[in-house]
Amino acid sequence: MSAPVIWVMLPIIIGAFLLLLRNERSVAVIGGALASLLALIALIIPIDQALLLGPISFKMSAGIQFFGRSLKFDPVDGPLLAILYSLAALWFFGAEAAGVARRLVPLGMMIIALLVASIAVEPFLYAALLIEIAVLLSIPLLSPPNQKPGRGTIRFLIYQTMAMPFILFSGWSLAGVEASPGDLTMTVQSATMLGLGFAFLLTVFPLYNWIPLLAEETSPYIISFMLWALPTITTLFYMGFLDRYTWLRTSSQLSQAVQVSGMIMVVTGGVWAAFQRHLGRIMAYASIVETGFILLAFSLVPGKIVEVASLLLIPRGFALAIWGLALSTIQKDSKPLRFSAVQGYARVYPVATGSIILANLSVTGFPLLAGFPPLLALWEGLADTSLTLSFWLLVGLLGLLVSAIRTLAVFVMAPEKTGWTWNENRAQVIMLGIGVIGLFILGSFPQAMQPFLSGLPRMFEHLGQ
C-alpha cells in the first residue's frame, strides 16, 4: 500500500460513494470516522519506513508514478496529514448537527483529498492545478441545487481560477531566475506573477470581497469549512515556494510587500467587522483578519515563519468550525443572520450564542482561548521589527473585539421576563461543547498541539531552520 493511495485516492473513492447515501447521520458518521482513521494512520504509521508488528514487517511506500510525474509523501508529512484530516473529521462529525452532512461530507472529503494531493505532487508547482480542481468541486457545495447562484459564488470562481495561470507561469519564470539570478527584469516579472497568483488564492486586499458576500449567500458551516481548507493549503504552498527559492526567502522587498498586505487585511478586516450587522459577515471578516495574521507571519525573520504560521493553523480551524456550527444552529430559526433577527437569542440558544462569542474572542486573541498563544508569538515577532506594526495589529484586533461585544449585546437584548429555553438539539450541544472545551484546552495548554506541530519545520528544509 502506498501513501497517496491511502490519503488521496481512498478519500476520493469514499467521497464519491457517500454521494449515493441519503441518510444525514450515516454520511456524517462514515465521513468523520474515515477522516479520523486517516489522521490516526498519519500519526502512528511512518511513511516509507519499516514498521514491525510482532513477526510482521510492514512498510508504506512514499509515492506513486502518475503520467510521468509523481505523487509522493515524505516521512515528515505525517503530522501535517494528521492535522488536516483530524480537523476535517471535526467538520464532518458536526455536519449532521448543522444539517448539511449530505452536501458537505462527500464533496468535502474529495476536496480535502485533492488539497492533500497538492502537497504531494512533484513538481510542487502543479499544486495550483489540483487546488483549482478542488475549487471547481466546491461550487456545488457553495451553491446548492435549485438556488440561484449569488455574486459571491461567481466572484469566488473567477478569482480562484485566475490564480492558477499566474502561479503556473511564475513557477516557470522562477526557474529562469534561478538559472540567471542577475536578470533583474525576469526577477521582477516572476515576483509580480507570483504575488498576483497568491493574492488571488489567499484573497489578499482588495480581492477578498467575495468572502462577506458568500457568507450571506450560503450555509455558514460550509463557508467556514472552505475558509479553513483553502487558506491552510495555500499557506503551505506559499511556504513551499519560499523554501524552494532562496532569492524569494531573502528578498526584503517581497517580505515588506507581504507585511503591508497582511497588515492592511488585519486592519480593514477588523474595522469592517466592527461595523457589520450580519453574523455571517462578521465571521467572514474575522477569517480575513486571520489570513492577514498568516501573511504577517510570512514577513517575520525566516527562522520564525514556519513556527508562527503553523501555530496559527489549528486554532483557526477550531474557531471557524465552532463559529460555523453555532451560526448554522441559530440560522434554522432566522434565515438572515442579521442583528435585528437574532436579538435576545442568548435566552433561546444559550450554547450556540455562547460558542459564537467565544469563537469570536478566540480569533481576537483573548487570553485562555486557542487564538491567544499564536497571536502572542506573532505580536512578539512583529514587535521585534517595528512597534508601529504592533500598534496596527492592535487596531485590527480592537475591531474584532468591538464586533464580539456588539454581538454579545444583541444576543442579550431579550425583552424583560423572557424565560431561558434550550433549543439546540443534543448533537449540536455535544459538538459545540467539545469545540468550546477544545478552544480552552488549546488556549490554556498550547503544548497540546506539539505532537502535530513539532514535525512541521522539517517539511521545509531551508525555511524551517
Partner 1 sequence: MLNSILSWAAVFIILVTSSGLLLSRNWRWSLGLLAAQYLGSFWLVTRHWPLGMAAVKLVTGWMAIAALAMTLLALSEDDIYHQKDQTEEQFLPQGISFRLFASGVTALIVLAASPRIEAVTPGLGLPVIAGSLLPIGMGLLLLGSTSDIFRVILGLLTMLTGFETLYAAVEGSVLVAGLLAVVDLGLALVGAYLIGNSYDDAASDNEELV
3-class DSSP state for residue 52? Answer: strand
Query: How far apart are CB 76 and partner 1 at their closest, in Å?
Result: 24
Strand order in the sheet with 121-122: 63-66, 69-72, 121-122
What grid cell was written down for 391? 500598534
Q: Does residue 66 sit in helix, strand or coil?
A: strand
User: What minimum distance in Å lies between the beta carbon of 372 and partner 1?
Assistant: 40
Q: Which is nearer to partner 1, 157 or 363 (CB)?
A: 157
How far is CA 97 from its chain centroid? 21
> Closest separation between CB of residue 214 and partner 1, Å?
14
Contacts of 179 (CB under 8 A, 6+ apart): none
* Residue in the structure block whose three cell numbers are 474529495: 110
The Cα 70–Cα 52 span in angstroms is 27
CB nearer to partner 1: pick between 209 and 390: 209
CB nearer to partner 1: pick between 122 and 461 = 122
CA dist list (Å): 24 to 15, 29, 95, 391, 433: 14, 9, 8, 47, 21
Between helices 78-98 and 426-444, what is the axis angle to 10°?
A: 150
Query: At its nearest, how many Å lie between partner 1 and the CB of residue 81?
Result: 22
Our CB check for partner 1 shows the closer of 66 and 440 to be: 66
Nearer to partner 1, 94 or 212 (CB): 212
Neighbours of 68 (CB within 10 A): 5
Q: How far apart are CB 71 and partner 1 at their closest, in Å?
A: 10
Q: CA neighbours within 13 Å on the CB side: how many for 438? A: 22
Distance in angstroms (rounded) separating the CA atoms of residues 429 and 435: 10
Give CA separation, 358 vs 216, 339, 371, 433, in Å.
21, 18, 10, 11
Name the strand (E) or helix (H) holding 122: strand 121-122
| CB of 21 closer than 8 Å to CB of 107 | no
Q: In this complex, which beta carbon is closest to partner 1, that of residue 142 or of residue 431?
A: 142
The packing angle between helices 279-298 and 252-275, to 10°, is: 160
219: which 3 cell numbers? 450555509
Which positions touch partner 1 (CB under 8 A)?
66-69, 126, 129-130, 132-133, 136-137, 139-140, 143, 145-149, 151, 153-154, 157-158, 161-162, 164-165, 168-169, 172, 185-186, 189
For 335, residues 6+ apart whose C-beta sits below 8 A from its C-beta are 341
Q: Which is nearer to partner 1, 185 or 253 (CB)?
A: 185
Beta strand extents in 11-84 (DSSP E only): 50-53, 56-59, 63-66, 69-72
Tell me whether residue 99 or residue 149 sits nearer to partner 1 (CB atom): 149
Unique residue bearing C-alpha cell 501535517: 80
In the complex, least distance from residue 51 CB atom to partner 1, rounded to whole angstroms: 31
In single-letter form, the type of residue at position 402 comes to V
Q: Which is nearer to partner 1, 155 or 304 (CB)?
A: 155
Task: Report in angstroms how near the CB of residue 140 gets to partner 1 at its nearest.
Answer: 6
Task: Give min distance, CB of 116 to partner 1, in A.
Answer: 16
Shortest distance in whole angstroms from residue 192 CB to partner 1: 13
Cell of 222: 460550509
Instruction: Measure the CA angle with vertex 84, ends 82 and 86; round to 5°.
Output: 60
Smaller CB separation from partner 1, 163 or 215: 163
- Dmax (CA) for the chain in angstroms is 75
At closest approach, how far in Å is the CB of 114 from partner 1? 11
Q: Which residue has the cell 494512520?
A: 41
Work out how close the CB of 380 gets to partner 1 at its nearest, in angstroms, rounded to a whole number.
41
User: 151 or 462, CB closer to partner 1?
Assistant: 151
CB nearer partner 1, residue 159 or residue 452: 159
- Minimum distance of partner 1 from residue 206's CB (angstroms): 15
Cβ neighbours around 45 below 10 Å, total: 17
